[in-house]
């Protein structure tokens, strides 16, 4: 009842899994990933434990074919399961049970496995594989292109409802809360893959935003940014602003950074522009002034800014 792709990116070593289906909330059910270990897609008449148990086996150094075989041998209902594994070395394994509902099957190519069942037709999986291999750009975007191609080719014969995309680092993280690069979900929507596309774009935009503002010390530290570091942060916020359109929070933060750097004229102009667009920003700016992050209140900034 689902189509998925699992893959390892040869360029970066990143590991990813993406899924779409006509079922509610597919992400935590079908998609499983662990940085430095591997990814798993488990579907059809789904047995969720193939995900965490498969990752545990791969973390022990057991190769995907052997890990998957061990789980299948212990599952009396393996004929109704469909599962794919990829580990951090790029080793692959997949299983499509003999009782999975057609159209069903798998396509393996280019370090990726596309699997699906209850599909509209036999072109869905080849379309996914071809799109993944043909799409340029970063890994998460290629995985999403595969889902889009599968959906365009017919997708789940029952229709659309949910989709999920997870990407993790191919290297073990230094800390357990690190290593997840993307974890995106659309649980219930008539166009869940379209929601993922929007979420992916916004994740990339806000990643630049957070690096420009919330890295330790940029706003909270005693010293402002100057020179190349300031220009890099301003450029990142400008890029985020282009993605966000009418939401002028990146513009506000550009102004804050400029005010901290002593560029009062440009800083006031940008902060005032954001406040005029969203008056509630004034209370936030006053909070920054009270904590000492900037020296001027919202009223003082607006009074100094050109109209």
Give residue 175's pLDDT.
93
pLDDT in tens, 64-80: 999 999 999 999 999 99
Burial class (CB in 10 A: 0-12, 13-18, 19+), 150: buried
The structural domains of the chain, with segments of one domain joined by +, span 2-204, 214-304
Residue 47 has φ and ψ, to the nearest 5°, of -115, 105
pLDDT in tens, 193-240: 999 999 999 999 888 888 878 777 677 777 888 888 899 889 989 989
Asked if pLDDT for residue 46 goes beyond 90, the answer is yes
pLDDT in tens, 234-287: 998 998 999 888 899 999 999 999 999 999 999 999 999 999 999 999 999 999
Give residue 214's pLDDT.
78
Distance between the two ends of the chain, CA-based, in angstroms?
57
pLDDT in tens, 124-134: 999 999 999 99
In the chain, the percentage of residues whose pLDDT exceeds 70 is 99
Give residue 176's pLDDT.
86
**Tally of CB atoms within 10 A around 221:** 12
Give residue 1's pLDDT.
64
Q: What is the SS3 assignment for 166?
A: strand
For the domain bounded by 2-204, which CATH number is listed?
Answer: 3.60.20.10
Q: What mean pLDDT, rounded, does the chain reach?
A: 95
Q: CB under 8 Å to 28, separation ≥6 — which residues? A: none
């Amino acid at each position: 009842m689902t189509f998925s792709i699992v893959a390892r990116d040869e360029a970066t070593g990143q590991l990813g899994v993406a899924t779409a289906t006509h079922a509610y909330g597919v992400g935590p059910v079908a998609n499983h990933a662990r940085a430095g270990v591997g990814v798993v897609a488990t579907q059809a008449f789904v047995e969720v434990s193939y995900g965490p148990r498969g990752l545990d086996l791969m973390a022990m150094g057991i190769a995907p074919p052997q890990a998957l075989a061990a789980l299948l041998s212990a599952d009396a209902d393996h004929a109704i399961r469909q599962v794919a594994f990829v580990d951090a070395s790029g080793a692959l394994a997949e299983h499509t049970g003999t009782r999975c509902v057609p159209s069903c099957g798998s396509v393996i190519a280019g370090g990726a496995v596309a699997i699906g069942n209850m599909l509209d037709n036999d072109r869905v999986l080849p379309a996914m594989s071809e799109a993944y291999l043909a799409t340029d750009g970063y890994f998460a975007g290629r995985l999403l292109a595969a889902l889009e191609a599968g959906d365009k080719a017919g997708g789940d014969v029952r229709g659309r409802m949910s989709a999920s995309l997870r990407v993790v680092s191919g290297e073990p993280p230094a800390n357990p809360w690190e290593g997840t690069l993307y974890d995106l979900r659309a649980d219930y929507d008539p166009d869940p893959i379209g929601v993922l596309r929007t979420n992916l774009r916004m994740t990339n935009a806000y990643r630049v935003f957070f690096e420009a503002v919330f890295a330790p010390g940029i706003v909270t530290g005693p010293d402002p940014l100057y020179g190349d570091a300031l220009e890099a942060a301003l450029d990142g916020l400008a890029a985020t602003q282009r993605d966000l359109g009418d939401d002028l929070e990146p513009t506000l933060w550009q102004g804050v950074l400029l005010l901290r750097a002593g560029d009062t004229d440009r800083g006031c102009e940008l902060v005032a522009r954001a406040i005029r667009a969203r008056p509630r920003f004034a209370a936030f700016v006053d909070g920054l002034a009270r904590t000492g992050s900037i020296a001027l209140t919202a009223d003082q900034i607006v009074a100094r800014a050109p109209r």
